Amino acid sequence: MLVLGGMSALLAQENLPVTRVVLFTNGVAYVEHSGAVQGDANLSLSFKVSQINDLLKSLVLIDEGGTVDGVRYPSQEPLSRVLGSFSINLQGVSDIAGLLERLRGAEVTLSSPSAITGRIVGVESRQTAREGVAVSEFYVNLWTSTGLQSLPLRTVTAIQPTDPRLREEFQNALQLISQSRNDDKKTIEIGFRGRGRRNVRIGYITEAPVWKTSYRLDLGANKAYLQAWAIVENVTEQDWINVKLSLVSGRPNSFIQDLYSPVYSPRPVIRPQTAQNLAPLAPPPGMEADRNMVAESAPMSAPAPAPSTTRGREPAPLRLQDSGVTAQATGEISGELFQFTVANPVQLPRRQSALIPLFTGDIQAEKVSYYNPSRHANTFNAVLLTNSTNTDFPGGAFTVLEGGSYAGDALVENLPRQQKRILTYGIDLKLRVQSEETQESLITSVKIVQGVMSIQRRQSFTRLYRLANSGEGRRVLLLDHPIRGGSTLRQPAQFEQKTATDYRFRIDVPKTEGETFKVVEEMPVAENFTLLNFSRGQFLSYTSNQEISPRVREALQRAADIRGRIETLAQDIRELERQRNQVIANQQRTRDNLASVGRETSQGRRFLDQLMQQEDQIENFGKQINDKNESQKSTQQELERYLSTLNVE
């Protein structure tokens, strides 16, 4: 609350009232107090500690006939730092032993139970026996006129410092601790200096509830009618009496910076210099300095469908046009924002809220059905709302009325002038949509350059939507089809709208069960293949494709023939190696048999003859394998030469 005090004779005991409030949709409000003062005046503002930072950041002071003398406010120095400045630091002290340790060296009078005066040496813990049990007990050591005395701390009933200044600081420290726990408000003092009667104004930004909007949309029979209401809350401790209220739609940047807490910059601690004997100095080698060195919206999700209602029979349908509600605010552009200003002064007591009509009037609206397969499986009852007014509407909830009855709820983002939004307010039970997708790939061109085959394809994606309208007449369907990245829309040729993720089509659906709607998208696909790695089968798979030019197919056929000879030679080599390995295995068995019967026996001589024959076979297989390898190598080189010089399309 802002009150006058000090040197103001006219308003010494009166309030400087709140005269203007501007609410923003980013959680702050601009509050302005204004009134008349006479001569020199000191004004005091009482704020919660949490509001001080916004106040220091945004405070605006105007004296229309004098000067602003300055602003004073209590410091927010950290409690630990303030307590550390006292002769006795009570920070962290919670018991008598800890307190006496902080008073070491101080002269005190202890009652134990007789009075003993002396300086505290310290507090120590000792193990003592009490009723046969060893316990730990604190003793305070005191230096007195008769020497050192040690007293059990449990026998001390009173402690009194003899130094009056120490007693005063002890009292101040306790008071400071108490204030830091209970004091949630701070007083700001503002001085105005001048002569005569004049007006002064004080404005500042403070945290405030976000003002909200809600809408009532009556679809009516021939035209739609809109009511826009603002929800305003006064959560302050001040009544708004005859306040000029403005509501700003937009989100200017706003932040909290801690300007209230003192900031201390750490400083280095330098030891005092003393004379020292100097050691020999050997500077390290240096290097020349381098003088060139230079130090996204996810789209909004569709709102949940509202429960359908059955229209009751009423004598006369409810019409918003006949409600008697009239707009109490005017709207205008304010920089990059849009501002509603309430025409008449607002009367809103503290801790109270209010509904204020911002707009009433006709608006362009078309009843449609809406379907987006990416967001929901159902079709929705919807309204295509065009802001045909001169007002920018903030986002909010819409209550939709149809035929004088409740039809559903919708949620809409900001709606600037001349822009369109779709309001979905219920599930459409009379229009069903199903879809299926097929793909097709067509080769558009093939060319071979130095052994690399480049294939250009046209990938086609076709989604067929099947529409079933069981309603009483034709319906307009707004259908959102997801955009496939990198593709081009081929059918239909045009769309109604395009969002960041979807094409939006307008479809006139007759009463039928068999209506279809086709969407075709095409995407170019490029593929490159190194032909040297192709097998004969891969070559042949392209030679039979009639989408490829005859010249390319002929070149691939020749490459397939060469690759076929290479693969045949490779197969022959594998067969010869298999046969040779079989002879080698037989030869090992013959050697084992020879070793068992001996070379001099008739059977041994027969095994020797077999070994010679097997050796001749192994040698013959080796020669054939070498010949085949040479032929394969030569044919591989032939294929490489052919492909490296092949340029055809």
The answer to whether the CB of 646 falls within 8 A of the CB of 555 is: yes
The residue type found at 254 is S
DSSP per position, 164-215: HHHHHHHHHHHHHHHHHHH--EEEEEEEEE-SSEEEEEEEEEEE-PPPEEEE
Cβ proximity of 363 and 389 under 8 Å: yes
Query: Is the pLDDT assigned to residue 288 strictly greater than 50?
Result: no
d(CA 463, CA 519): 5
What pLDDT does residue 462 have?
A: 95
What is the identity of the amino acid at 440? E
Q: What is the DSSP letter of 95?
A: S
Q: Given pLDDT bands bounded at 50, 70 and 90, which one contains residue 10? A: very low
Nearest to 328, CA basis, from 349, 313, 309, 346: 346
- Confidence band for 439, pLDDT divided at 50, 70 and 90: very high
CA 409 to chain centre: 28
What is the Cα–Cα distance from 546 to 612, expressed in whole angstroms?
Answer: 59
Contacts by residues 252-259 (CB-CB < 8 Å, ≥ 24 positions apart):
252/24, 252/26, 252/337, 253/26, 254/24, 254/26, 254/27, 254/28, 254/205, 256/53, 256/54, 257/53, 257/57, 258/53, 259/52, 259/53, 259/56, 259/57
* pLDDT value at residue 308: 42
Res 314 pLDDT > 70? no
Query: What's the pTM value of the predicted model, to 2 decimals?
Result: 0.63
Strand ranges of the sheet holding 158-161, from the earlier edge strand across to the other edge: 147-152, 133-144, 115-130, 107-111, 158-161
> What is the band of 605 on the pLDDT scale with cuts at 50, 70, 90?
confident
DSSP three-state, residue 644: helix
Q: pLDDT averaged over the chain?
A: 81
Residue 597, pLDDT score: 82
| Alpha carbon separation from 602 to 596, 605, 607, 625 (Å, rounded) | 13, 5, 9, 35
Three-class secondary structure of residue 455 per DSSP:
strand
Q: Is the pLDDT of residue 134 over 50?
A: yes
What is the percentage of the chain residues whose pLDDT exceeds 90? Answer: 27
The pLDDT-based confidence of 459 (bands split at 50, 70, 90) is very high
340-368: pLDDT as tens digits: 888 888 898 988 999 999 999 999 999 99
Q: What is the pLDDT of residue 610?
A: 83
Q: Is the pLDDT of residue 582 over 80?
A: yes
Q: Which residue has the higher pLDDT, 128 or 115?
A: 115
- What pLDDT does residue 289 have? 37
Q: Where are the alpha helices (DSSP H) in 390-495?
A: none
For residue 519, pLDDT beyond 90: yes
In this predicted structure, the answer to whether residue 229 has a pLDDT above a threshold of 50 is: yes
Question: Would you list the domain boundaries of the chain?
Answer: 1-94+168-208, 107-162, 320-421, 432-530, 536-648
Give yes or no for a contact between 117 and 162, defined as CB atoms under 8 angstroms apart: yes
Q: For residue 216, what pLDDT is reported?
A: 92
The 3-state DSSP class for residue 371 equals strand
d(C-alpha 142, C-alpha 100), whole Å: 11
- The closest alpha carbon to 212, from 386, 425, 419, 26, belongs to 26
Q: Count Cα neighbours of 368 within 13 Å in the Cβ-side half-sphere.
A: 21
Separation CA 209–CA 231 (nearest Å): 10
Q: Which helix (H) or strand (E) holds 262?
A: none
Q: How confident is the model at residue 6 (pLDDT cuts 50, 70, 90)?
A: very low
Other beta carbons less than 10 A from residue 424's beta carbon: 30
CA angle 432–434–435, rounded 5-degree value: 155
What average pLDDT score do residues 105-131 get?
83
Query: Between these two residues, 545 and 49, which has the higher pLDDT value?
Result: 545
Q: How far apart are CA 404 and CA 220, in angstroms?
A: 8
pLDDT confidence tier of residue 335, bands split at 50, 70 and 90: confident
Report CA 84 to chain centroid distance, whole Å. Answer: 43
Over residues 102-115, the mean pLDDT reads: 83
Long-range contacts at 530-533 (CB < 8 A, ≥ 24 apart): 530/451, 530/452, 531/448, 531/451, 531/452, 531/453, 531/559, 531/643, 531/646, 532/451, 532/639, 532/640, 532/643
Q: How far apart are CA 125 and CA 23, in angstroms?
A: 63
**How far is it, in rounded angstroms, from Cα 223 to Cα 201?**
47
Q: What letter would DSSP give residue 15?
A: B
Q: Is 218 left (phi over 0), alpha (psi -120 to 50) or beta?
A: beta
Cβ-based neighbours of 40, under 8 Å, separated by 6 or more:
6, 7, 8, 191, 192, 193, 194
CB 35 within 8 A of CB 178: no
Closest alpha carbon to 424 in 357, 375, 489: 375
CB 328 within 8 A of CB 356: yes
Is the pLDDT score of 174 beyond 80?
no
- Beta strands 240-249 and 18-24, pairing class: parallel
Q: What are the two backbone dihedrals, phi and then psi, of residue 343, each rounded to the nearest 5 degrees? A: -65, -45
Note the pLDDT of residue 183. Answer: 61
- Which residues make Cβ contacts (< 8 Å) with residue 550, sequence separation at least 6? none
What is the number of residues in the chain?
649
pLDDT at 120: 84
CA 118 to CA 116: how far, in whole Å? 7
Q: Answer whether residue 9 shows pLDDT above 80.
A: no
Q: What is the pLDDT of residue 214?
A: 92
The confidence band for 80, taking pLDDT boundaries of 50, 70 and 90, is low
Contact 384, 368 (CB under 8 A): yes
- Winning range, highest mean pLDDT, from 78-92, 130-144, 487-501: 487-501
- Cα–Cα distance for residue pair 138/56, rounded to 1 Å: 50
Residue-level pLDDT at 285: 36
pLDDT given for residue 466 in this prediction: 93
Comparison of pLDDT for 176 and 206, the residue scoring more: 206
Q: pLDDT category, 296, cuts 50, 70, 90?
A: very low
Which of 70-84, 127-141, 511-525, 610-624 has the least mean pLDDT?
70-84
pLDDT band at 273 (very low <50, low <70, confident <90, very high): low
HSE at residue 53, side-chain half, CA atoms within 13 A, is: 11
Predicted pLDDT of residue 290:
43
Whether omega before 262 lies within 30 degrees of 0, making that bond cis, reads no
Q: Give dist(CA 62, CA 68) in Å, integer.
A: 7
